[in-house]
Chain A
Amino acid sequence: MTQLGDFMAIVGIDLGTTNSLISVFTDDGPVLIPNETGSFMTPSAVGYSNANEIIVGHAAKDRLVTHPEKSAAWFKRHMGSNKGYRLVRRDFRPEDLSALVLKKLKADAETFLGEPVERAVISVPAYFNDVQRKATYAAGKMAGLKVERLINEPTAAALAYGLNDKEGESTFLVVDLGGGTFDVSILEIFDGIMEVRSSAGDAFLGGEDFTDAVFKMFGEQIGPKFEKLDAKQRGLLRDLSERAKHLLTTKPDVTVNYNGLKETISLKITREEFDEQTKKLQSRLRLPIQRAVSDAGLRAENIDRVVLVGGATRMPVIRSMVTRLLKLFPEHSLDPDHVVALGAAVQAGLVDRHAALEDVVMTDVSPFSLGTNVSVDIGNGQYEHGHFQPIIERNTVIPVSRVTRNSTLTPDQKEITLGIYQGESPRVNDNIFLGEMNIKVPLNKKKGNHESFDIRFTYDVSGVLEILVTTLSNNETKRMVIEGNPGSLSQEDITKRLKELDKLKVHPRDKAENLAIIARLKRAYENHLGDIRRQIDQNLTYFETTLAKQNDTDIAAAREKVIKWLEEIDNLDVF
């Protein structure tokens, strides 16, 4: 490592719906940081252990099956909302749970780098709105990180790919289908400049929706009993659904043995059925791609390369759909699960002014439109309120400053109330409300005249929106700033929650791997019957007694043995 001493590295973080990764930029380029199990991917799952300690990652994910009431996952989907997760008499917001994941990643990086980590670049889906972005900022703060920048996930992916080809001149389209979100970006590289031309996406489409589809198909096969399944039995079935979905990428059909009920139920799914059942989900890929293409002022035939990012793009249905839409075979030379984290590290390197990136400049766009509400004359002296007037159009290069002139509705109007919105609907009601300004009409204005206002929007690279309203008759200017942070939680809230999270007892990192194995054994126990169950029990006892002896070499050997055995078992019920 080069970053030592008083020079602290900025880390890049891919805070995903299903998995999260952390990385750092070094002289050799972006590098992923492994967690305690040696894997780069940490499941974005949080839970309480039986000793009431907080656990994050693999163990928490397995415990979703055995202890659904003590575990939570997929909370990224609810970032910025008020959805609460109740785990053992305690309420968590999605920000809290994300902060716990971030804290865990931070600890991994500190172990790996041998120095404290305090600054980070976190990736977010391009289609995350302002509220969701603020929530991500807040989560970072609660984890004790200074969030230097949020980077759009497809932009990060493009950075990772672009860095390999920075001398070239090409236009490429990034298709990023993650666990919970779908993003598309078009990137143009010329003379070492990486320019994002456009971004579009669907914040509610991801691999998890395809797992849900398999889950539903299995549910139909189980029949009426499906409705009566409890949380644990459902968790078990969903776990099987996910594994079946993964196996379907390489096999034409998959059978699973479901042991959640008293007898073993064999459930089968073929790739054709899966393709048929997910038609609706597949069709949702089209609109964002089309939008990105036309917003960039291009046609699909102008695209040189298509790059696939996100674990869900492993599904053959996605690949064939993308090929059909763009008439171009997509490439995936980098691991689709790692690309975003690698790109986040590149952005961290850029923020950090790393020498290796001296010649690289990246420009990004605002993926959404920003504007105000206006009333529109519909004839007969009538006005219709609540129309959206974009001031900064989506996919404009940032930083950007744009101005529009509006005037009062009636000559005797005393005040205007200016609503600030983000979104693409022609009606403000369907867009996201960001703030409101009240501007008084000057009293000395000539009677019977309308008052006009110049409304200037300035949007910068860190997501800060500044609004300046100038009243024309007296040239007075009123200013408002909508910040990228602190967001829906106030500054005090964040500090308070930071302290509360610090009070939570976190399971020691060096024991996490063993805990993960125990959780996995227990999950396997839940999912089996009869003989295998007894064998699992034996393995569990064997592992626990080895742990009790506290001999590290023995424990490592036992770990390896049990993992190998568990893999064999897994292949028994999903094949």
Chain B
Amino acid sequence: MATYYEILGLDDHPSDMKSAKRAYAKKLRVTRPDDDPEGFMKLRDALDAAKNEIAWREHDAAQIDEPAIAPAEDSVTLNAQEDEPSAVNISPEAINDLLAETPAEPEPVIEDIEPTGDQVLMSRFSKAFNDPFMKNDKAHWSKLLDEKIDLTIDEHIDFEERFRGALINAYNQWIEDKKEQPTLRRPLPHPIENLIFDKMEWRFLQETDTYKANEVDWLKGQFDLYNREAPKTHQATRVQAPQFEDDGISAPKMIWRIVRTILIIVALNYLFHLF
């Protein structure tokens, strides 16, 4: 079987994306998607393979360049590599810090750097989130959420990520705390949760990036939005391979199934004779 770089018409692994793309462009002229769909799909997969390989190579190179941050253990290295710690690892203090610290009053160090639109907006969100009165004020949230119209595309992408991260942290914390205080109120009331989902337009699959999509999905579960949209379709395939193979079927369940089947047969017979 040909290697991906052979499919691209190269003798060896491409050194960078530019040479991979140039090779792809050359091959594409003789493998047009209209004339040779099979060949094109192979060519395209080869380009994607090159893209992945180059990305990994760059990723590895970056790790070697930063030995100071990364101690020997692999797991720690991975964590240190991440820009933002994952939701589960962050401590409650850190969340409040994260929420509170965003420059409502910019610290002297960053005074000469103008905070970006998303940072300014994020600080106002934190304020609303931490204020017991504002937190329940739907009109205030609505107004805040409408203000994101003034953000640029890049600021909005950043804002969305920060906001989602902060919410995930808050809900994670709540789940933890609830174990000790079962009566603890939700971080945000239901109407506000709904409003956020509407205004952030999270009801649809915004992200093809599975990591981000999972974040939205997790939040949706916490916001309890799934249970309020009763699904109607009856369907019988599933995502995962079987997960309850060892469970078997309990005896009462089995008996009930047999009884049910007999009942159905009797009922059908009865109906049959009726007509």
Contact = CB atoms under 8 A, between A and B. Distances in A.
A482 interface: no
Most buried by A among B28, B33, B40, B244: B33
Contact of B33 (A291, A398, A416): A398
B206 A409 contact: no
A411 B153 CA distance: 49
A385 B152 contact: no
Contacts of B44: 397, 400
Interface string B7-38: 00000000000000110111011001110010
Contacts of B242: 407, 411, 450
B73 to A, nearest CB: 31
A contacts with B: majority SS: mixed
Nearest to B32: A361
A64 to B, nearest CB: 34
Interface in A64-92: none
Contact of B236 (A190, A290, A408, A426): A408
A326 interface: yes
A367 to B, nearest CB: 12
B238 interface: yes
A377 to B, nearest CB: 6
Given A406-B239, A429-B233, A460 B205 contact: no
A374 interface: yes
Interface in B137-195: 146, 149-150, 152-154, 156-157
Contacts of A192: 25, 29
Contacts of A416: 236-237
A55 B201 CA distance: 43
A361 B233 contact: no
A385 B153 contact: no
A289 to B, nearest CB: 6
Interface in A398-449: 398-401, 405-411, 413, 415-419, 424-430
A393 interface: yes
A451 to B, nearest CB: 10
Contacts of B74: none
Contacts of B231: 384-387, 427, 429
A301 B154 contact: yes
B148 to A, nearest CB: 8
Interface residues of B, number: 49
Contacts of A417: 235-236
A193 B208 CA distance: 25
B229 interface: yes
A326 B232 CA distance: 41
Nearest to A293: B153
Nearest to A188: B21
Interface residues of A, number: 75
Interface in A342-377: 351, 359, 361, 363, 369, 372-377
A419 B240 CA distance: 18
B264 interface: no
Interface in A256-310: 279, 282-283, 286-287, 289-291, 293-295, 299-301
Contacts of A426: 204-205, 217, 220
A190 B29 CA distance: 13
Nearest to A411: B242
Interface in B204-253: 204-209, 217, 220, 226, 229, 231-244, 247
Contacts of A376: 238-239
Contacts of A399: 33, 37, 40-41
Contacts of B57: none
A191 B25 contact: yes
A450 B235 contact: no
Given A363-B33, A374-B235, A452-B241, A300 B152 contact: yes
A450 B247 CA distance: 14
Contacts of B234: 385
A398 B41 CA distance: 8
Contact of B153 (A326, A363, A383, A408): A326
A399 B35 CA distance: 11
B238 A374 contact: yes
Given A377-B240, A386-B231, A279 B208 contact: no
B203 interface: yes
Contacts of B226: 384
Interface of A: 190-193, 279, 282-283, 286-287, 289-291, 293-295, 299-301, 324-327, 351, 359, 361, 363, 369, 372-377, 381, 383-390, 393-395, 397-401, 405-411, 413, 415-419, 424-430, 450, 452-453, 460-461
16 contacts: A289-B153, A359-B29, A361-B28, A361-B29, A363-B28, A373-B233, A374-B239, A375-B236, A377-B243, A385-B231, A407-B241, A409-B238, A424-B204, A427-B231, A428-B233, A461-B34
Q: Which 10 A-B pairs have the closest CB atoms?
A: A386-B231, A191-B25, A386-B233, A300-B153, A399-B37, A406-B237, A385-B235, A409-B236, A450-B242, A424-B205
